[in-house]
Amino acid sequence: MLHSYFFDSAASHSDSPALWVKDRLYSYGEIETRARRISAGLTAIARNKDIGRCLLFGYRSVEAYAGLLGILDAGMAYVPLNPKMPASRRATIIAQSGASLMLVDRRCASGLEEVLSLLDEPPQIFLLDEDAPGSHLPSLASTVSTLPVAPYVRRQGAKGDVAYILFTSGSTGTPKGVPITHSNAEAYMKGQLQLHERTSNARHIQLCELSFDPSVHDMFVCWANGGCLYVPETVDPVYNADFIRRHDITHWSSVPSVVGFMQQMRKLTPGAFPSLRVSMFGGEQLPRSLALAWTRAAPNSRLFNMYGPTEGTIASTCFEVSAEFLDNPQHAVIPLGGALPGVELIVVDADLRPVAAEQTGELLIAGPQIAGGYLSADCQSGKDRFVSKSYPGRHAHRWYRTGDIVRTTEEHGIVFHGRVDTQVKIRGNRVELEEVEHIVHASSGAALCAVIPWPLDEVGRAAGLVAFVTNPRVDIEAVLHACRQCLPDYAAPQRVVSLDAMPLNANGKIDRKALAEQCARTKIPA
């Protein structure tokens, strides 16, 4: 069971630090006591009811982490809500989750009113904080104290039970619930514990929110190895550069955009982070220039580029970046690498037939990490994602279609080429936005860049491209010239816009929708 990784460590060294949050360290024993209390409360409330899911609305608090462990220990699946998301999206997730219980910490309680007003049937809500004067919500502890006394028997659960449910956006923007079982999570954890050697006094940083699946890696790989999870108050690049040094962080994990901001703020100075031993990136493409800057700032760290959809449980492939790879300027972007233990990969054409080596096609993944499907059986945007098919030389019979265009190389494994759904047509010609971004990035010297189709006609067809870069001193004419030299006329951006900072979404990735809205708002022509 996923939570066993924490409780096993708590049993063997309860006095060791397990969590740092809001300027305080908590030991494994302290967190275990809180989690067991929450577990007992949920079990009492759910007495004689079959409650398999519990919403968790907490933000960077000890209550949120104890709540997550308590939900799992009670034999339920946790469904995290992100306070950074719009209320309408949170309401949609609550409704789709089917959960009748919600645990909330004091900080997030104030944001409930707007969400609840959008729901026809709100869940039963309990406050995680034991002492929250002035709150109109019942606390879990006080509610349980009024119930009839009964011996607490923790439900053991089964590995096939759902551990957590995360929601991703489909092409329509409608949230899709992805239930991940304990078996899915265990398969991932086994692979990660093989990949990384144990580090004494490990200090893992957690930047992403609990609604983003790398958080599962951060928490449970850390706790499985008896480490301490450090949760900074903010993902501000200036703050976190100092945070790494102040707390001697040993394990880093983030999307590349976070580090791009740190580079932009000139925080990646040589030798800036000597304590780091393992650095992991994922969720977006990792440019070679950014990886090079990071390795100079963290000279003692191994650097891994991880890739995988939520449906594949956190990550499916891994590429360890070597000095030799970074020394070659022809490598613009870090590859996705090879399959993690237990994962099978195959690259296919539009008819799901395998393509030859070095040929591009859609990546399919399989193995015990693959989710059983979506929460909603009639999810139209995901109904064709999971396919049953046998291939010679492959053990799997069930595959997940990633929608990612890749090719397999002998030297570097899987190399990313773009998204099926980010191919755009301009004047009848197909254009891969990632290919354009590579050239813009290389010619602009920007920490971050993004290319979007603009303007769009009334039926959504693109008339051209606009590039955004985070470099106030960028030579726009030089970038446009480089694009015209390397790309067909229809694929070269007509404009380059310099920004002080890229807009980011709730998961820390570049928010391309916000860039399109900026184009519309400022009437940027192509």
Q: Are residues 77 and 195 in the same domain?
A: no
Q: Are residues 129 and 238 in the same domain?
A: no
The whole-chain average pLDDT of the chain stands at 87
Q: Are residues 347 and 450 in the same domain?
A: no
List the beta bridge partners of residue 19.
Answer: 26, 229
- State yes or no: pLDDT of 34 exceeds 90: yes
Q: Please give the Cα distance from 268 to 241 (Å, whole number).
A: 8
SS3 333: strand
* pLDDT tens by residue, 218-259: 999 999 999 999 999 987 878 899 999 999 999 999 988 888
Q: Among 313-317, 331-335, 370-374, which stretch is predicted with the lowest mean pLDDT?
A: 331-335
User: Do residues 500 and 472 make contact, with C-beta atoms less than 8 angstroms apart?
Assistant: yes
User: Do residues 77 and 179 make contact, with C-beta atoms less than 8 angstroms apart?
Assistant: yes
Q: Please give the Cα distance from 75 to 309 (Å, whole number).
A: 25
**Residue 163 forms part of a structural domain:** no
Q: To which H or E segment does residue 316 belong?
A: none
Q: Are residues 304 and 453 in the same domain?
A: no
**Would you call the peptide bond into 179 cis, given omega within 30 degrees of 0 as the criterion?**
no
Q: Where are the alpha helices (DSSP H) in 398-511?
A: 433-444, 476-486
The torsion angles phi and psi of 41, rounded to 5 degrees, stand at -65, -45
**Residue 399 forms part of a structural domain:** yes
What contacts 518, CB < 8 A, 6 or more positions away?
503, 524
* pLDDT tens by residue, 109-122: 888 988 999 998 99
Which CATH number belongs to the domain containing residue 448 in this structure? 3.30.300.30
The separation between CA 345 and the C-alpha centre of its own chain, rounded to angstroms, equals 21
Q: Are residues 402 and 303 in the same domain?
A: yes
What is the token pair recorded at 87? 């209320």
Q: Are residues 208 and 76 in the same domain?
A: no
Domain of 216, in residue numbers: 181-422
Among 368, 402, 422, the domain boundary falls at: 422
* pLDDT tens by residue, 178-218: 999 999 999 999 999 988 777 778 999 999 899 989 999 99
- State yes or no: pLDDT of 150 exceeds 50: no
- State yes or no: pLDDT of 382 exceeds 90: no
Q: Please give the Cα distance from 333 to 319 (Å, whole number).
A: 12
Helix axes 214-224, 182-195, angle to 10 degrees: 60
Among 389, 422, 455, the domain boundary falls at: 422
In this prediction, residue 132 has a pLDDT band, given cuts at 50, 70 and 90, of low
Which CATH number belongs to the domain containing residue 119 in this structure? 3.40.50.980
Q: Please give the Cα distance from 250 to 221 (Å, whole number).
A: 13
- CA-based nearest residue to 114, from 84, 97, 137, 91: 91
SS3 145: helix
Among 422, 457, 489, the domain boundary falls at: 422
Return the percent helix, strand and coil in the chain, to nearest 5. 35, 25, 40
pLDDT at 275: 97
Q: Please give the Cα distance from 26 to 484 (Å, whole number).
A: 56
- Number of domain units in the chain: 3
Q: Please give the Cα distance from 212 to 257 (Å, whole number).
A: 15
